[in-house]
Amino acid sequence: MLHCRQQCDGNHPVWGVGELDLLQLSISGLANGCVYGLIALGFVLIYKATEAVNFAQGDFMMFGAFITIWLANSYYLGINFWVAVSIAVLIMGMLGYLLDMIVLRRMFGQPQIAVVILTIALGFILRFLAGAIWAHEPQSLEFPLAGEKITLGGLVLGVEEVAVILVTFALCGLLYLFFSRSRLGMAMQAASQNQLAAYFMGVPVKRIQSLVWALGGMVAAVAGVLFASKGAIDPSTGLLGIKAFAAAVIGGFGSLPGALIGGIIIGLVEPFAAYGLPAGYSQIAPYLIMLLVLIFRPHGLFSQVQKKKV
Amino acid sequence: MTGEPVLQIDNLESYYGPIMAIRGVSLEVRKGQIVTVLGANGAGKTTLLRTISGVMNPAKGTILLNGEPIHGREPDAIVAMGMVHVPEGREIFPLMSVAENIAMGAYVRRDTSAVRRDEEMVYGYFPMLGERRGQQAGTLSGGQQQMLAIGRGLMAAPKIMLLDEPSLGLSPLLVEEIFAIIRRLNEEQGVTIVLVEQNARVALEVADYGYVMETGRIVMADTAHTLENSKDIQAFYLGVREETQRGQRRWKQRKTWR
Ligand SMILES: Nc1ncnc2c1ncn2[C@@H]1O[C@H](COP(=O)(O)OP(=O)(O)O)[C@@H](O)[C@H]1O
Ligand SMILES: [Mg+2]
C-alpha cells in the first residue's frame, strides 16, 4: 500500500513521490479552479437576476486585480494591502452598479444580442485601459504573506494557494448567508426567480438588478485579487473569462454552487491534462468537458429546471 | 356597505407598444366592497390591473388611491401605500420555500412583530400552507400555489387587494374554497377587493358591484345582483352553466345564443 521510492526516514508520513505530485497538482488546480469558479459565479449571478450575460466578467476580474496592484504594490502607491483590496472591491462594485444604471437600463427592450455585444465591447475597453495605464507586462500583487510555505507532512503548499482556496470558500459561505438570510439577498433571489412577482411584492426590481451587477463586480474584484496573489496578471488575462464561462455552463448556468463546482472541475482537470496529454491538447480540455456536459446533460450538472405547474 | 371611494379610475388608456389594450376605462371602488371586473379572455382585465398596480404606465387617465394620484408611480411605492396585486397564473417564487414566499409578501414592511402576527393569520386562513412551510413552492399543486399567491399578497397588509382570476384552472371544489376565503378576508379583515374573473357565476356570487369589459372598454356596470339577473350577462357569461336550479332557462338561452 505504501510506496517508498525515495528516502523513507520515518519523520515524514510515508508518501510516494507520485502521490505527492498528484496532491500538489490537485491543490494548485483547485486554487485555479476557485478563481474560475468565482468568475463563473459572477456570470450566473448576473444572468439569473437580469437575463444578461456579462462577457466582460473576466475583464472585470483583471481590472479589479490591476486596481489593487496599483494601490498596494510598493512601486505604485504602496498603501496597506487590505485597504487596497477593500477599495478595489468597492470600485468594481460601483462600476457594475453604474454600468447597469446608466447603460443597460436604457437598453431595456433591445434584443439580447445588443447587451452581449455591449459587454464584449466593454471587455475590450477595460483591456485597452489597463494596458494604457499599467502597461502590458505581467505583474503580481505584493501579497503580504507571499513566499511562505505551509508544510503538511511532506506536502509543501504555497500560502497563496491555500489562501485562495480558503478565501473562495469563505466568500461562498458569506454569499450563501447573504442570499438566504438578508432582506436584500432574498429580494435578489425573488427578482431572479420571478421578476414580475417581485414587482408585485414591492421589490424595486431595477435597483435590485443594479445591485446584482455591483455584487458581480465585487466578486470579480475578489477573484482578481486572488489571481494576482498567486501569479502574474496582464491585461489580456481577462480572456480566461471564456474558461469561466465554460465552467458556468458545466454547472448549469443557473446554479451558484454549480458555477463554483464547474470552475473547480476545470481547474482540477487542467493540470492533469497538461501532465498527461501532449502539449496543445490540454488547453482544449475545459471546452471538451463543456461539450460532453452539453451532450449528455444539456442543462448542466446542477440545473434547476423549473416546470411551471398549470 | 358603501364607504368612501378607495380607488377611482378615470378614462384610463394603456398600450402594449402600438396595441391599445385599455381604451378609456373609468371605475370606482368603495371601501369594504368586493368589486368584480368580468370579461372574456383578451378583454384587457389583466392589463387594467397591471396599470393600476404600477407595473405598466398608462398613456392617459388618472388613478386615485384614497384620493392620491398613483398613475406613473413605481409598483413598490404603490404596495407600500396599501394596494397589492395578486397576479394571474400563480406567479410564485418557485425555488423558495412556502415560508420564504410568505415572507417576501411583507417585503415593504418594517414592523417585524406585526409581520409575525400576520404570518400566523395567513396560516390560519390557509392551514395547508402552514403544514408545508418548508416545502419548495414550485412543487405545490396549482390550487396550493394559488392559495400561496393570495396568502403572500395578504402579507403586505393591504387595504385593497387586486385579484386576477383566482379561479383559473382550478377544480370547482377548490374554487368554492378559495372564494369562501376571499369573502372571509373581506368581512373579517376589512380588505377591499377588486376581483377580475372570467368565471362570472362565482364572481357575482361574492361581489357587491360588477363591471363588464370587452376589448378594452367597460360595456356594463351595475350591482352584482342586477348583473346576475341581466339577460345579456346570463346569455354571454352565465349561459354555459348547467347545474344551478335555474339551469333549464340558462340552457335554453345558451342554445338561442348559438
Ligand atoms: N405582453 C403583451 N404584449 C402585447 N399585447 C398584449 C400583451 N399582453 C396582453 N396583450 C394584449 O392585450 C389585450 C388584453 O390582454 P389582457 O389584459 O391579458 O386580457 P385579459 O386579462 O382580459 O385576458 C389582448 O388583446 C392581448 O392580446
Ligand atoms: Mg388576464
Q: In whole angstroms, what separates CA B7 from the centre of its chain?
A: 14
Find the ligand nearest to B168 CA.
2
Question: Average pLDDT of B9-35?
Answer: 96
The residue type of B163 is L
How many degrees, rounded to 5, is the angle at CA B192 between CA B191 and CA B196? 120
What's the pLDDT at A17?
A: 56
Q: What does the DSSP assignment read for B76-112? A: HHHHHTTEEEE-TT----TTSBHHHHHHHHTTT---H
Q: Where are the alpha helices (DSSP H) in chain B?
A: 45-52, 75-80, 98-105, 112-125, 127-131, 142-154, 172-188, 200-206, 224-229, 231-233, 247-257
Residue B246 pLDDT > 60, yes or no?
A: no
User: Nearest to residue A282, comparing CAs of A262, A267, A260, A263?
Assistant: A267
Find how far residue A252's CA is from the centre of its chain. Answer: 15
pLDDT at residue A32, rounded to an integer: 94
Q: Give the Cα separation of B61 and B51 in Å (integer).
A: 11
Q: Which residue has the higher pLDDT, A187 or A149?
A: A187
> pLDDT digit string (tens) for A174-196?
999 999 999 999 999 999 999 99
Question: Could you tell me which residues are beta bridge partners of residue B35?
Answer: B194, B209
Closest CA to B56 of B94, B19, B105: B19
DSSP state of B24: E
Q: What is the ipTM of this complex?
A: 0.84
Summarize pLDDT for B39-88 with one digit per residue, the tens.
999 999 999 999 999 999 999 999 999 999 999 999 999 999 999 999 99
Long-range contact pairs involving B26-31 (C-beta distance under 8 Å, separation at least 24) = B26/B61, B26/B218, B27/B211, B27/B218, B27/B221, B29/B5, B29/B160, B29/B192, B29/B194, B30/B1, B30/B2, B30/B3, B30/B4, B30/B5, B30/B6, B30/B192, B31/B3, B31/B4, B31/B5, B31/B6, B31/B192
pLDDT for B2: 61
pLDDT at A308 over 50: no
Query: How confident is residue A30, by pLDDT bands cut at 50, 70 and 90?
Result: very high
Instruction: State mean pLDDT over A54-68.
Output: 97
- pTM score, whole prediction: 0.86
For testing contact with chain B, the best of A181, A200, A255, A309 (most B CBs within 10 A): A200
* pLDDT band, very low/low/confident/very high, at B254 (cuts 50, 70, 90): very low
Give pLDDT, residue A201: 94
- Top pLDDT among B249 and B183 is at B183
Asked if B156 and A201 come within 8 Å (Cβ–Cβ), the reply is: yes
Per-residue pLDDT tens over the stretch B90-105 = 899 999 999 999 999 9
Smallest CA–CA distance, residue A84 to chain B, in Å, is 35
B145 and B153 Cβ atoms separated by less than 8 Å: no
Radius of gyration for chain B, computed over Cα atoms and rounded to the nearest angstrom: 18
Pocket test for ligand 1, best of B14, B19, B38, B167 (most atoms within 8 A of CB): B19
Give B96's contacts in chain A (Cβ within 8 Å).
186, 189-190, 193
The distance of B142 to chain A (nearest Cα, Å) reads 6
- Angstrom CA distances, B203 to A310, B38, B195, B222, stand at 21, 8, 7, 14
Domain segments of chain B as ranges: 5-82+158-257, 93-148
Cβ-contact B119, B66 below 8 angstroms: no
- For chain A, the structural domain boundaries read 21-231
**pLDDT in the model for residue B211:** 96
pLDDT value for B239 = 54
Of A143, A166, A147, give the one whose Cα is nearest residue A156.
Answer: A147
Q: Which CATH architecture is the domain B5-82+158-257 placed in?
A: 3-Layer(aba) Sandwich (3.40)
Q: Is the pLDDT of residue A216 over 80?
A: yes
DSSP E strand stretches across A72-188: 149-152, 155-158
The pair phi, psi for residue A305, each rounded to 5°, is -70, 125
In tens, the pLDDT along A63-85 reads 999 999 999 999 999 999 999 99
pLDDT in tens, B211-233: 999 999 999 999 999 998 887 77
